[in-house]
Structure 1
Amino acid sequence: MKRLLLALICVLVSVAAHAGASSSPFHPDLVLAQRKLDTARGAEAYAALRAIWSTWDRADPTHVEEALLLAESSPKLSPPARAYAGWLAAHARTRRGDLAGAKKKIAALGYIDQWLVVGPFDNEGKQGLAEDQGPEAELTQPIVPGRAYSGKERPVRWRVVPKAFPYGWVDLSSLLRPDRKICGVLRTFVHAKKGSRTPRAISLWVGNGGAFRLFWNGKQVLTDPGYRAHDADRFATAVTLEPGENDLTLKVCGDDAAPLVSVRIGDERGAPDPNLEVTATIAASEAAAKHVAELVKKKAAPPRAKLEGPMQSLEQSARQKNATPSQLYAYADYLVNTGGDDPADHDARDLARRAAEREPTVERLLLAGDLAEDKNQRKEWVDKAVALAKKSGRPNVDVLLAQADLELSSPNWRAAVPYLDRALAIDPDNVDAMQARVQLNNDAGLKRTALAALERAVDRNPRSVNLLNMLATQLRALGRDTEAAVAEDRYASLRFDDRTFLNAQIDLAVARRNKQAAERWVSRLLAADPDSQWAHGVAARAYRALGQPDRSIAAYREALNLAPEDVGTLRALADLYGELGKRDEQLSLLRNILKIRPQDKDVREYVEHIQPSKPRPDEAYAWNQKRFLRLRHAPKNGETKRVLRDLTVTTVFENGLSSKFRQVVFQPLTDAAAAVARQYAFQYQADREVVQLRGARVFRGDGKVDEAIESGEGAADNPAISMYTSARNFYVQLPRLDPGDVVELRYRIDDITPNNELADYFGEVVYMQSDEPTQNAEYVLITPKSRTLYVDEKVPNLKREVKEAGSQRIYRFFSKYVPPASSEPAMPPWPEVLGYVHVSTYKSWQELGKWYWGLVKDQFDLDDETRKLAREITKGKKTDADKVKAVYDWVVENTRYVALEFGIYGYKPRRCVQTVARGWGDCKDKATVIATLLEEVGIPSTIVILRTQMRGDFDSKVASLAPFDHAIVYVPSMDLYLDGTAEYTGSTELPMMDMGALGLRINRGDAKLVHLPVADPTKNVTERKVVANVESGGNAKLEMEYHTKGVNASEWRRRYHAEATRRERVNGDIGREFPGFNILPGTAGITTSDLENIEQPVSLTLRGSAPGFARREGKQLSIAATVSTRLTPSYASLSSRTQDVVVQGFSTQEDTFVLKLPAGMKLTSAPPEKNVDTPFGSFSVKVSEEPGQITVKSRLAVKVMRIHPKDYAAWKKFCADADSALTPRVTVGP
C-alpha cells in the first residue's frame, strides 16, 4: 500500500506539472512543494523539504509523511539531504503519536543525545563566543568532577545532561539559568564500533539555534557567529575519526533566546554511519585526553573529503559576483524556511529584494514584501506583485491573500473581504483564506455562517489539521461541546504533540475528576515534551489536583533534574511543601531561591513572614524617633527648612540588581515651608521596580504623632516633547504641618525583574547634599564580596568605613553635618554642585565604553533599502562635509522626535533600519541612524552619550551610565558633533545644551571621555541694523535687518517658522525693546530667509513704526542706540561668589543704528568711543556723524562660558565696564 501511495504521488506531481494543481486529489500546496523538490538543485532541496513539512496542517498528514519518506529514499537527493528528509519524517512520526518509532529513527540517523554540559557563561554584547571562558582552554585535559568555572551570576560545573532530549536537539533553555544572553559548552566522546576501520573520515553536521564553535579533538573545525533559529544539519565539516575516544566539544551562545543545538555524525558522504558510538562520561574524557593532547601537537592533514552544509553551499553560490536571481532567491528561501536569517544581518531581506528587482516573479516579489521592515514597504512589493499577476491574465491566490493581509492590519479591515472571497472562489480549501474569513465573520457576529463554511471545508478535507482545529474551536464557541469533542479527537490523532491541546485536555480531565484520563493525557504530554519545565509543571499540578502529592513532588524533582536553578519550579515545589505542612523543606527551597535571585521581593517577604520576626538588614540602619528628635531643637540660623536625617541603604546583588531603603526626616521652620512640605515626591521605574511605603509620621511640637497620610502616583512623562518613559512619580501627602513639626518617611524601592537587562552592571549617583542643611547624612552600600565596585565621593565632611561581614562587603559613608549648597544667580545646575557618592561596576570610562558598545553594536544595522537610501541622500555630493550635511538634514527632517524609553530602550537605541522605516525615534535612535548612514557612505563616526548642560558637569574618578541623559554623533574627520534631536539646528550649529557638555565617545568600544566645544564668539553672532527715520516728536519709522548664525539660529527658526504666528511673535519680541512697535501689513512689513533650510543663517527684515522711539528731554531727544544687553544684572550682581558663573549660549551681538534726524536737529552728545578686548570678552562703541544722520556701531562678545570664583572680581569689572560703555544714549537737539 505504501509503495502504491508513493508511486501515486510521483504520478500526480508529474500530472500536476502539466494540468495544474487543481486537478490533483492531493492538496495543491503539497503538490507545489513536491514540484519544488523535484526541480531543486543541490542544497535547494532543504528548503523544498521544509516546504513539504510546512503543509502538515493544511494537507492530509498521511500524504505529507509519505512525501517525506519518498524523499528519504530518493536517489536524486544527496545522502545528507536524504538524512534531513529522514529527520523530518521522524518528526512526522512524533505528530502521529509513534514516539518510539521517531526516537529510533532519529538515533539511527546519528543525532547525538548524550552530553556533558557546563554553563551558563556570560554572552553580553555577543562577546562570549570568542572569549575563553574556561572549558575551551582544557580541551586536551580530562574533565575534573566538581571543578568550578566563573559562570554568569554564579560558579558553574560540569554535569551530565539528563536523558530528556531524544528528538535530535539539546535545548539549553531547559538546562541553564539564566537562559538569556548566555553561552553553554557541551562535550561528548565518539568512537568506532569494534571491528570498524580507524582512522577514517567522518562528517559532523551542526544545526544551530545561536552562534557556535565546534571542536574536534581539541581543534576548532567549524564555527558560525550568526544568531539564528534552529534547524538541523545547517553546517557540515569532515574530520578524522582516530582510534579510541574522540573529543567532540561544542560551544553555543544565544542572545535574547537560549541556544539550541543538534549535532549529527555521519560517514564521509554525510549518510548515517552505523559504526559510530557516543558516550558522555568522565571515564571517556580521561580516555580521550590520553591521545588528544598529542593530536593537537601534530600537524595532521585534514580529511580529503570536503563537505558543506546547505547554509555553506547556498551562501557561497549567492555571494559570488555573478550570482543569478535564482541563486539569490534560493538562499533567501532557505533562510526564511529554516529560520536561518540572523536578525542583525537582514540577509534574507536583501537577497529576496535583489532577486525580485533583477528578475521579478510573483513569488519573489511576495517574499520581498513579507521580509520588508514595515507595512508601507511591504505594500510597495505587493503592488508590484499585483501588477505582474495581472499581466499573466490569471488571478493569483497568494497575491490576493497578501492584499487581504495588508487590509486586515489596517483600520479598514473590512476591505479584506473581497480579496478573501476571490481567493476562496479560486481555491475553496485554502486554509489561510478560510481562517481569515472565519475570523471576520466571528467579529461581525456571524458565528453560524462561519461554522457552516468550516463544515463544508472539512467535508472536502476531512484530514486537514488546521480546519479540524478551527472547527472544534468554532463549535466550542457556539456551545456545541459534544461535537467539539469529536472534532478535537480527530485533530489529536493528527497532532499528537500539540502542547496547548494536551494542556487543555489535562485541565478538562482534572476538572471532571477523571483520574484515568488525566494520567493518560499527562503521560502523553511528558512523552511529547520530555525536556520542558513547563510540561513537568503541568504534570505536577495535575497530580496535586488529583490528590497525588508524591507524584507531584516527583514531577517537580524531574524538572529540577533538568534545570536545578529554575526559580519557577523551586517556588512551585516550595509552595507544595508548604501546603503539605513540610515547613523545613519549604524554607530550604525558598532560601535557595534567594541565593539564586536575591532581589525576589515576594519570596523574601514570605520567608520573613513564616520565620521569627527580625529587622531587615538594610532597615536596621534607620534611626529610631528618640535619636532624631534630639536634633529638632537646634538653632534655626535663619533657615526655612532643614533635614535631620537622610539615610540611603543600597543592597547590590550578585547579578547587578538592587534594593534601596530610604529614611528621610525633615523639619519645616516657617509657615511657607510647612505648606510646601506637605507633599513629598520621589521617582521610580515602574517596569522593573516596586515601591513600598514603610512609614510616614508627623511628630508634633506638643508630643502627638500623626500617621494619617495619603499616597498616590502618576506618570513622569512629558507629552510636550513626546517623551514617554517607565518612570513614575510617587507622592506622599501629609496632614497639615506647623513650623517645628518633624516629618519622618521610610520607603523602599526594590528591583523585581528576574534578570538584569544590563548584564551584571550596576551604577548609581546618590546625592547627600541639598540647598537645605542636613544634620545627619548617611549612605550605606551592601555588596557581595565577590563583586568589585568602584566608589567616588564628593561630599563635605564625609567619612568612609569599609568592613566585611560574612559574604558581604559593606561601605558606609556618613557625615554629622552637611552644609547647604548656596544658591546664586547664573550658577551651574544643582546636579553639578551638590555633593554625591558615585558607585559603578566600571573603574574606567574605556571599560564602560567597551561594555556599552557590546550592548548597542547590533543596532547599527543596514539592509539594502537603507544602503540605497544612504546613496540617494548623498547623490551628487562630492565632499565629506556635503555628505555629512545631507545625511544630518535628512535625519532631522524625516524622523520625528518621539521617546518611548521603556525597559532596556532607556539605554539601548532601536535598530537603524527600524527607525528609518518608522520615521520616529529618540535621541539614541536618531544618533544611530546618522552614524550608520555616514559609515555606509564612507565617513567614520561614532555615537556619543552625553550629559547635557541641563545637568551640568560631572567630575568623577569612576565610570557609569548614571550621569548621562542624551546621545549625539561625532565625526572625527571633521571634528564635528551632530545632534539629530535638535530639529531646527544646522549641522554646524551645536545646540546650547550640548556646548561644553561632558560626552563619552564610544568609538566601537575604544571609548574616550571628552568635553564638547564651547561657543565660539566668531561663529555665534546676531547682527542687527536699525535704520530709524526719527520724527521731531520722538516717534520713528524703522527698518530693521537681523542676521543670526550659530547657537541662537535654531531658536529663531523654531519660533518664526510658522507663518500663521510669525507676525504676532515678532511684534511681541520686538515690542520688549521698542514698546508699541507696529509692523507694516503684508510682506512689506516682514520678510525672512528660508527658515526650512537649517544650514543657512537666519535673516529677518522688519518695517514698521515705533511710537516713543526717542525719549524727549526738554528740547532734546534721547535715543538708546547701542547693544541693549547688560551683563551685570544677569552675571555679576553679587559682590562675591562661591559658585561658578555659567554664561550659557551667549551670542555675540553686533548692532548698527542709522539715525536719520528731523530737520534742524544735530548730535549733542554720544556714547564715548570704546574698543576693549579682555580674556573674558570684548566690547566696542563707535559713533560717526553725517549731515542729518548719525551712525552708531556697537559690539558685545563673551569669550568664556564659565568663570571660577577666583576670577569673579575681574569678571565683575569686565561686566561693569561693558555695561558702562553701552549704557550712554545718543542725544540730539536743535
Structure 2
Amino acid sequence: MIFLLAVTLILRDGKRINSPSIHLEGEKIFLEDTVLSRRDVDEIVFKTGGISMGKGERDVSSLLRLAEKADSLFPDAPGVVLIDEGRWEYFPDGSRKYTYHFAGLVKKEEKRGWRRRFFWYEKEREALRVEYARVIKPDGSVRYAGEIKIASPTTGDVFFDRGEIASFELPDVDPGDIVEYLYVDSTFKPWFPSLFEGDWFFGGREPVLYSSLTIKIPPGETLIYVARNGKPEVKRKRNEWTFTMECIPPVIEEPAMPPLSDLVPSITFSNLTSWDPLFDWYGEFQKRRLRITPRIKRVADSLTSGVDEPEKKVEILYHWVQRNIRYISIKGGASSGVSGHPAEETLLKGYGDCTDKAILFAALLRACGIEAYPVYINTNDAGSLVREVPSFYGNHAIDKVKFDGKEIFLDATGYYSRYPSFWSADHGVWAVNALERRIEYIPIPPPERNARIYTYSMVLHEDGTLDVEFQSEYTGDYESWIRGFWDTRREEEKERVFQGMVKEVSPKAELVSWEIENLKDLSKPLRLKIRYRIKDFPEKAENYWIFRLPELQERMEKRELSLTERRYPLFYETSEMIVQRVKLILPPGKVSPPSSIELKGRYALFSGEYRVKEDTLYLEAIWKRWEREIPPEEYSEYRRQVMEAKRWLGKPVILELQ
C-alpha cells in the first residue's frame, strides 16, 4: 500500500476530485470517504507532496528485552542499534515506496543525538509520513515526538531551490532509553521511472543487533544485486527478496581509513542489467547543455587567439573556467541536479556547481575542436562504484579531454589547479562517461605529479650562525592547496605566518625576508622563498660541531602511522613525492655525514645520499609513494620503512674544525 498527500484525481468522465490524501493498494484507490477503481481514474495529479506525523503502537516489552541483550553483548558501546530495517517497493508505474524502522538503545550521552531525525524532502516528488516516533523509558513508559519542523536548507555555497528539510525531536532522551521511529517515504515522481536502484549498509560505527532490507518488485521485473564485505542471509519469495544480518560489530575508527561504505557489509541493487539506459538518459541531458552557441564560440576563440597547440588551448581554458566561474550550487530537478545548466547560462551568470563548470569547460573545448566529455564520479572519500550494478552514481562531475592522442581528466570545479593537475579526491576512482558510453578508471597520477620540492642553500659561519635560503615548489593538488591558502591571506597575515614558520624551525630563528612567486598566475609554478638566520646553530664539544639539518625529518612525520597494526587499509587520496635538496657551505674542517640509504618497498621508495666536495656538503633525499591504499597485511612493513627514513633524516652531521 502506498500513501500520498494532496492529490487531484481526474476521472475518465472528466470529473475532478481533490483529496488531502489517498492510499493506493493494488487496483483500488482509497480516498477519505470513498473507494475508486484504478480503471475509473484517467490521471492522478500530484500537486504537492506532503509530510505528516502519526502515532503507532508497537510491542514495548520485546524492545526492552532486545535492549537487555544488547547491553550484555556490547557493554562498552555508547549506543546499540536494536532494529535497522528497510523495505523498498517498486510499482509498475515507476513510483516507489521506502519504509524504514529504527530502534536504538542510548547507553551514553554521545548517542542522545538519536533523538533528532532529519529528512531531505522534495514536496513536488515525494510524500513522507512518520508513522510514529517515540522514546521508551526503562520502566516501559513511552513519550512521543511533537510536531514535524520544516526548514529550507542552505549550506555555504550550495543553495536548494527545491526541497526542504523535515525534522522531529524526541523529548527527554537519557542514557538507558530506547529511541524508535518508523517512516514511509513515497516517491510518486521519480527522476527516472524505469530505474529502480539503491544500496543498503549493514552496520556502521555502532553495533547492530538486527539489520534487514526487503525489496519487492513487480512480477516480470529483474533484480540484480551484489553483496560486499560480508554475506547476508538471503530469502526470496517470488518477486520479494529479504537480506538479513545479525549481531554486527561496530567499525572501530582508525586514522586515515577508507570511507565507511567500503568497509561495512552492503547490498547494491538495480533492476537494470546494462548501463545503456543510464548512458542514454545522462547523455541526452548533456548533449542539450553542451550546445556551442555563438557566444560560447566567441569566448573560446578570444581566449585562445593566436594559440595553435591543442594542449595549450586546454590549459588556457582550464585555468580560465576555474578563475572566472565562481562555485555556487543551485540544486533543483533532475535536469539541473544531474546534468547541470546549459553552458551559455553558466557563462552568463558567472557561477555554477561542479556539473555546470564541467559542462561549460567541455563546451569551450569543443568550440576549439577538442574532444571533451563531462563524467560523473564519486570522490575517493565517498565510496566505490559497484560496476556490475547500473545505478545513479556520483557526488561530483569533472571532464575527460582528448587531444594529440592523449586522454586526460581535469577538474575545473575549484580555483587553483595548475594544468595538468586536478583535485586529489578524483584520483583512483571510476567515472561514468555517458557520451562515450563507458565506465572508465581515472588513474592515480605518478608521484612526480604530486611532488613537493624543497631546496636549501645554507652557510654555516665560524661563529655558529646558520644563514638559510629556502625555496619550495610543487606539482599537483598540494600546490593547489598551498596557492589557495596564500591567496586568501591578507599581506599582514602573510608576514605573521612566515614568522611562525621560521620559529617552528627553531626558537632562535629570525626571519630575514620572504617572497611568493606566481601566486595569481595559474600558468606558472607557485614558489615560496624564505631567508632566515639561526644563531648558535650547532652543538659544540671542544673542536667538534654536531648538528641536524633543519626541517628535513619533520616532513616525514606521518600521524596516520600512530598504530602498530591495523584492521583496515591505510587510505590516502593520491600518490606522494617529497624531494629535499641541501647545499651547505661549512667552515674549514672534516665533515662526517650519515652513510647513504635506500629503502625499497612494495608501495614506496626512500633514498638519501650525502656528498662532500671541498668545504660544501650536499644532500638529496627522495620519498615516493605511488599507491593510494596500503593493505593491513602490508602496513607494518610500510610503517617500518617510513620510520627508518625519518630516523635517517634525523641523524646528526659531525664537523671536526681545523
TM over 0.5: yes
Matched, 1:650 2:100: no
* Equivalent position of 2:133 in the other structure: 696
1:627 corresponds to = 62
Question: Which structure: larger Rg?
Answer: 1
Question: What is the identity, as a one-letter code, of the residue corresponding to 1:643?
Answer: V
Counterparts in 2 of 1:664 and 1:1108: CA distance versus 1, 3 Å: farther
Q: 1:1079 is paired with a residue of what secondary structure?
A: strand
1:859 aligns with 2:296: no
Give structure 2 stretches of 5+ with no counterpart: 1-7, 23-29
**Whole-angstrom CA distance in 1 between matches of 2:332 and 2:507:** 48
- 1:929 corresponds in structure 2 to 360
The one of 1097, 1116, 1138 aligned to 2:567: 1138
Aligned counterparts of 1:723 and 1:585: Cα–Cα separation in 2: 37
Deviation at 1:976, TM superposition (A): 0.9
SS of the residue corresponding to residue 888 of structure 1 reads helix
**SS of residue in 2 equivalent to 1:1134:** coil
* Alignment counterpart, residue 1154 of structure 1, candidates 549, 574, 583: 583
Change over 3 Å in CA distance of 1:733–1:584 after alignment to 2? closer
Q: 1:1117 to 1:605 in 2, by over 3 A?
A: closer
Q: Secondary structure at the match of 1:907?
A: helix
> What's the TM-score, normalizing by structure 2?
0.85
The alpha carbon displacement at 1:676 in A equals: 4.7
Pick closer, same or farther for the CA change 1:657–1:1177 going to 2, 3 Å.
Answer: same
Query: Alpha-carbon deviation of 1:826?
Result: 1.6
Q: 1:1173 to 1:704 in 2, by over 3 A?
A: same
What's 1:733 paired with? 169
Specify whether residues 841 and 826 from structure 1 end up closer, same or farther in structure 2 by C-alpha distance, changes over 3 A only. same
Q: Find the aligned partners of 1:1077 and 1:684 in 2 and give their Cα distance.
A: 57
1: distance between equivalents of 2:617 and 2:49?
81
Does the aligned pair in 2 maintain the 1:571–1:589 contact within 8 Å? no
Quickly say closer, same or farther: Cα 1:986–1:604, change in 2 above 3 A.
closer
Confirm or deny: 8 A CA contact 1:764 1:839 kept in the other structure. Answer: yes
**TM-score (normalised: structure 1):** 0.47
Is the CA contact (8 Å cut-off) linking 1:697 and 1:745 kept in structure 2? yes
Match of 2:327 among 897, 904, 914: 897
Give the 5 Å matches for 1:70-89.
Answer: none
C-alpha distance in structure 2 between counterparts of 1:892 and 1:593, whole Å: 56
Q: Do the aligned partners of 2:460 and 2:467 also contact (CA within 8 Å) in 1?
A: yes
**Which aligned pairs between 1:1022-1037 and structure 2 lie closer than 5 A?**
1022-1030=452-460, 1036-1037=466-467
User: 1 or 2, which has the higher strand percentage?
Assistant: 2
Counterpart of 1:1118 in structure 2 is 547
Matched, 1:950 2:377: no
Residue from 181, 199, 202 that aligns with 1:745: 181
Aligned equivalents of 2:635, 2:338: Cα separation in 1 = 39
- Residues 1156 and 772 (structure 1), Cα distance of their counterparts in 2 relative to 1, 3 Å cut: same
C-alpha separation between the residues in 2 aligned to 1:1111 and 1:778?
Answer: 66
Amino acid at match of 1:749: D
**Is the partner of 2:298 in helix, strand or coil?**
helix
Q: Does 1:589 align with 2:26?
A: no
Amino acid at match of 1:828: P
Distance 1:1045 1:684 in 2: 42
**Which residue does 1:811 correspond to in 2?**
241
Query: Quick one: which of 261, 267, 280 aligns to 1:837?
Result: 267
Which range is displaced more, 725-734 or 1055-1064? 725-734
1:994 matches 2:426: yes
Residue in 1 that maps onto 2:101: 663
Specify the code of the residue in structure 2 equivalent to 1:746: L
Q: CA deviation at 1:836?
A: 2.4
Q: Match for 2:632 among 1183, 1205, 1227? A: 1205
Residue 81 of structure 1 aligns with which residue?
none
Contact 2:228-2:266 within 8 A present in 1 as well: yes
Cα distance change of structure 1 residues 895 and 981 upon mapping to structure 2, 3 Å threshold: same
Q: Residue 589 of structure 1 aligns to which amino acid in structure 2?
A: L
Specify which of 249, 252, 255 is matched with residue 825 of structure 1.
255
Deviations, residues 383-442 of structure 1 (Å, cap 9, x unaligned)? xxxxxxxxxxxxxxxxxxxxxxxxxxxxxxxxxxxxxxxxxxxxxxxxxxxxxxxxxxxx
* Residue 1174 of structure 1: how far off its partner (Å): 3.3
Contact 2:228 2:267 in 1 (8 A): yes
Alpha-carbon displacement from aligned partner over 1:963-993 (angstroms, at most 9, x marks no partner): 4111111123321111110211023002111
Where does 1:903-982 land on structure 2 (aligned, <5 Å)?
Answer: 903-904=333-334, 905-961=336-392, 963-973=393-403, 974-982=406-414
Q: Please give the alpha-carbon distance, in whole angstroms, between the structure 1 residues aligned to 2:394 and 2:317.
A: 25
Aligned residues: 634
Give the Å deviation of 1:1127. 5.7
Superposed CA deviations along residues 1143-1175 of structure 1, whole A, max 9, x for unmatched, are: 323431111233344x57764x53331133333
1:1055-1204, aligned counterparts within 5 Å?
Answer: 1055-1058=485-488, 1060=491, 1061-1069=493-501, 1071-1075=503-507, 1077-1080=509-512, 1085-1106=513-534, 1116-1121=545-550, 1123-1125=552-554, 1129-1157=558-586, 1163=591, 1166-1186=593-613, 1189-1204=616-631
Q: Which residues of 2 match residues 354-433 of structure 1 at below 5 A? A: none
Report the alpha carbon displacement of residue 1187 of structure 1 after superposing the two structures with TM.
5.5
Is the Cα contact below 8 Å between 2:112 and 2:175 reproduced in 1?
no
SS of the residue 1:1042 aligns to: strand
1:782 aligns with 2:216: yes
Structure 1 position 1043, deviation (Å): 1.6
Distance 1:835 1:774 in 2: 12
2:25 aligned partner = none
Residue matched to 1:1217? 644
Residue 5 of structure 2 aligns with which residue? none
Q: How does 1:565-644 map to 2 (within 5 A)?
A: 569-571=16-18, 587-589=34-36, 624-634=59-69, 635=72, 636-644=74-82
- Letter of the 2:186 partner, please give it: D
- RMSD over aligned CA atoms reads 3.7
Do the aligned partners of 1:570 and 1:590 also contact (CA within 8 Å) in 2? Answer: no
Say which SS state the counterpart of residue 958 (structure 1) adopts. coil
1:300 maps to what in 2?
Answer: none
Question: How big is the shift at 1:1001?
Answer: 1.5
The 2-side partners of 1:1043 and 1:940 are apart by 32
Identity %: 20
Mapped to 2, the partners of 1:999 and 1:687 lie a distance apart of 30
Shift of 1:743: 1.7
Matches within 5 A, 1:708-727: 712=149, 714-719=151-156, 721-722=157-158, 724=160, 726=162
After superposition, the Cα gap between the structure-2 partners of 1:695 and 1:1035, relative to the gap in structure 1 and judged at 3 Å, is: farther
For residue 4 of structure 2, what is the aligned residue in structure 1? none
Distance 1:584 1:1139, change over 3 A: closer
CA distance in 1, matches of 2:536, 2:383: 42
What is the deviation of 1:1062?
3.2
Partner Cα separation in structure 2 for residue 1092 and residue 1191 of structure 1: 33
> What is the identity, as a one-letter code, of the residue corresponding to 1:641?
G
In the TM superposition, what is the alpha-carbon distance from 1:868 to its structure 2 partner?
2.2
Distance 2:475 2:345 in 1: 34
Separation of aligned partners in 2, 1:950 and 1:705: 40
Return the letter of the residue paired with 1:698: V
Instruction: Describe how 1:139-538 pairs up with structure 2 within 5 A.
Output: none
Distance 1:1070 1:718 in 2: 37
Q: Deviations over 1:1178-1228 (max 9, x none)?
A: 112222335654333212111221122333343233333323333323344
CA displacement at 1:593 relative to structure 2: 8.4
Q: Secondary structure at the match of 2:634?
A: helix
More helix by share: 1
**Aligned-pair CA distance for 1:851:** 2.4
Distance 1:1128 1:585 in 2: 68
Which letter maps to 1:767? F
Distance 2:124 2:552 in 1: 52
What is the CA-CA distance between 1:1137 and the residue it aligns to? Answer: 2.7
Displacement of 1:785 in angstroms is 2.5
Q: How far did 1:828 drift?
A: 0.7
Q: Tell me, what secondary structure is at the counterpart of 2:568?
A: coil
Q: Taking structure 1 as reference, are residues 703 and 1086 closer, same or farther at Cα in structure 2, changes over 3 Å only?
A: same
Contact 1:1034 1:1117 in 2 (8 A): no
Q: What's the CA shift string for 1:662-699, capped at 9, x where partnerless? A: 211111333x4345545444544465335433322222
1:82-131 CA-partner distances (Å, limit 9, x unpaired): xxxxxxxxxxxxxxxxxxxxxxxxxxxxxxxxxxxxxxxxxxxxxxxxxx
Deviations 1:1082-1112 (A, max 9, x none): xxx2223222222322212112335686567
Structure 2 Cα separation of the partners of residues 1064 and 574 of structure 1: 63
Structure with higher RCO (Cα < 8 A, 6+ apart): 2
Q: Which runs of 5+ in 1 are unaligned?
A: 1-533, 538-555, 576-582, 610-614
Q: Distance in 2 between matches of 1:573 and 1:1198?
A: 61
